Amino acid sequence: MKIRRLAVIGVGLIGGSLAKALKRVHAVGEVVGCGRSRENLEQALALGVIDRYTTDVAEAVADADMVFVAVPLGAMREVFEAMRGHLAADAVITDGGSAKASVVADARAVFGTVPHNLVPGHPIAGTERNGAAAAFAELYENRRVILTPLPETADEAVERVRSMWQACGAEVTLMSVEHHDEVLAATSHLPHMLAFGLVDALSRMKENDEIFRYAAGGFRDFTRIASSNPVMWRDICLANREALSKMLAAFAEEMSDLADTIARGDGDHLLEVFTRAKQARDRYVDAMDQGSLE
């Protein structure tokens, strides 16, 4: 089912890559880009990511039958406000936010209820790069997209969003808002906190220049995610504060226990933890490589 007009609010890596993926398979008529940076929008236009642009959300969504909101979580509410009253009758709205309860709360705050045609979503994909120039059509190939419809969400809206992502080569899964936020807190938000926290802690040590000098190869991979966008991650933390703060506190407790285990020299327990972790990680990598998780 072809999309007549797609409005992409926020033409960065996530929004731009959706547009490029849909264009590549001729699954969209026209793509209208919208954002605050004219420079980025000009670049998106020049690169063929979008067909035209506006910095006005209301104008962008006019007559769009699909609206994709790919802005930082902290900007979600004002985007909803700007589109209220300007959506086409057949419009379906979805988003790319990394936490879902906050998007639902923002929609409820703006629209009074969560609109039947809003399908909260989250493509599990990304790179460290930002902006329209980073967008590429293959970003979502064989990646998972999670949709978290509410009981009041229209089935037809869910199906239209599902078809859109499938056209990009993604595998679509449905789950509840709460479950999404817990799973992502564990697999994405918590690791980011550890990487940011570790690099910050080392950078505050008094011989920090020297310390980084002796970091071995593994350190670079381990801390890669600490180079992520700080504003985006502040927003994710605030948006998923409940699930994330609980999980981080529990993990801190476990690390404190592990410190005790090391201090008292309990080698058997250490070996047990490390072996279980290595097995789980090796299984995960095997499954990734065999494509069964993708």
Q: Restricting to residues 190-229, which ones interact with a second copy according to CB under 8 A?
A: 190-205, 207-208, 210-229
CB-nearer residue toward a second copy: 155 or 290: 290
Q: How far is the CB of 222 from a second copy (least distance, A)?
A: 5
Using the rule CB under 8 A, give the single segment among 12-20, 35-43, 79-87, 180-188 that binds a second copy.
180-188
CB-nearer residue toward a second copy: 28 or 137: 137
CB-nearer residue toward a second copy: 36 or 179: 179
CB-nearer residue toward a second copy: 25 or 255: 255
Q: Among 14, 19, 238, 291, indicate the residue that binds a second copy (CB under 8 A).
A: 238
Instruction: For the sheet with 144-147, list strands across it.
Output: 121-123, 144-147, 171-174
Q: How far is the CB of 210 from a second copy (least distance, A)?
A: 7
Distance in Å from the first CA to the final CA of the chain: 24
CB-nearer residue toward a second copy: 5 or 189: 189
Q: How far is the CB of 249 from a second copy (least distance, A)?
A: 4
| Nearest residue to 143 (alpha-carbon basis) of 171, 181, 162 | 171
Q: How far is the CB of 140 from a second copy (least distance, A)?
A: 12
CB-nearer residue toward a second copy: 155 or 207: 207
Q: Hey, which residues between 19 and 48 contact a second copy (CB under 8 A)?
A: none
Q: Among 62, 86, 105, 251, indicate the residue that binds a second copy (CB under 8 A).
A: 251
Structure-token pair, residue 154:
């229209």
Q: How far is the CB of 152 from a second copy (least distance, A)?
A: 25
Q: Hey, which residues between 262 and 281 contact a second copy (CB under 8 A)?
A: 262-263, 265, 267, 270-271, 273-281
Q: Hey, which residues between 85 and 144 contact a second copy (CB under 8 A)?
A: 124-127, 144
Is 76 among the residues that bind a second copy (CB under 8 A)? no
CB-nearer residue toward a second copy: 112 or 217: 217
Q: How far is CA 58 from CA 55, 83, 88, 166, in A?
A: 9, 5, 10, 28
Count the site residues for a second copy by CB under 8 A.
95
Using the rule CB under 8 A, give the single segment among 8-16, 110-118, 154-162, 178-186 that binds a second copy.
178-186
User: Which residues touch 231 (CB under 8 Å, ≥6 apart)?
Assistant: 72, 74
Taking the C-alpha atoms of residue 17 and residue 33, their distance in angstroms, rounded to an integer, is: 12
Using CA of residue 132, residue 133, residue 134, residue 136, what is the dihedral sign? positive
Q: How far is the CB of 18 from a second copy (least distance, A)?
A: 16
